[in-house]
Amino acid sequence: LESPEETEEEIPVVVCAAAGRMGATVAAISSIYSNTEANVLFYIVGLKTTIPHIRKWIENSKLKEIKFKVVEFNPMVLKGKIRQDASRPELLQPLNFVRFYLPLLIQKHEKVIYLDDDIIVQGDIQELYDTKLAPGHAAAFSDDCDLPSTHEIVRSVGMQNTYMGFLDYRKQAIRDLGISPSTCSFNPGVIVANMTEWKHQRITKQLEKWMQRNVEENLYSSTLGGGVATSPMLIVFHGKYSAINPMWHIRHLGWSPDTRYSEHFLQEAKLLHWNGRYKPWDYPSVHTDLWENWFIPDPSGKFKLTRPDS
């Protein structure tokens, strides 16, 4: 039997708190905290201007019981690394790139979970944390071709699930990578990462290199995926990542305001991700009830849900 100390391992979970989306952060944290007995330490990453708001929200709600650290992200690290011409400016928010800098934000942990803010966790986060990473792998992700039950949805909303949807194969630098355009992409909205490997392989430096090259050569930002933060990860981690159980990342809930999954399937899901434009705190969007279960209203009244009758 393991000693109690070993089972009490701290599970670090990184989630961002962006201006205008803090209700998402709060709902994500609330869902994780309510569904586990594990010893979770939340790293809440924000910009200087947003930090006081999220801190107040947590301290003045039932979340005051959680263990958390607020970390300030300095957007200056991105200077000169982002093209300003994306068709979806929200994807250029500095906090979208926090996942590139995990070892700089989190010092003492070997293994870390990173989660986008537009998720809800219905399972026990311990299970996700226990995801096995193969030797030499710095991260685990969910493949975009992994779940047959999501394929229908993907087809109906024209989702991108191959490298072709993210990288511009007309560019020599991309062709030189030797990655087939039909290779399955992965979604970096849920990451289980090994910090030792990450530092050893200098992942952050590699990601920055591809950001810089994109500024110079426009390798991906004009493509359909709009994945300014996804594309460098697809390049750097190609063929070098472990798999997250598909039920731990049911996504595309935000791709269309009228494509719905079956209720039974959603009940079975361990983690739901509203990636796409239609967010559950806005209107229109789908499966908002599942999200709202975990939402905690803003004590300051600044953040409000957008609903058809509001």
Domain contains 285: yes
Query: How does pLDDT run along the chain (310 residues), one tens digit per residue?
Result: 555 555 568 999 999 999 999 999 999 999 999 999 999 999 999 999 999 999 999 999 999 999 999 999 999 999 989 877 655 666 668 999 999 999 999 989 999 999 999 999 999 999 999 999 999 999 999 988 766 655 565 555 555 688 988 899 999 999 999 999 999 999 999 999 999 999 999 999 999 999 999 999 999 855 544 568 899 999 999 999 999 999 999 988 998 888 888 899 999 999 999 998 899 999 999 999 999 999 999 999 999 999 998 6
110, with CB counted inside 10 A (0-12, 13-18, 19+), is: exposed
How many independent structural domains does the chain possess? 1
- Quote the pLDDT of residue 153: 59
The Cα 165–Cα 163 span in angstroms is 5
- Quote the pLDDT of residue 180: 95
Domain contains 69: yes
Domain contains 44: yes
Domain range enclosing 276: 11-144+187-216+228-293
Q: 195: domain CATH number?
A: 3.90.550.10
- Quote the pLDDT of residue 222: 57
Domain contains 151: no
Domain contains 170: no
Domain contains 284: yes
Domain contains 127: yes
Domain contains 62: yes
pTM (predicted TM-score)? 0.93
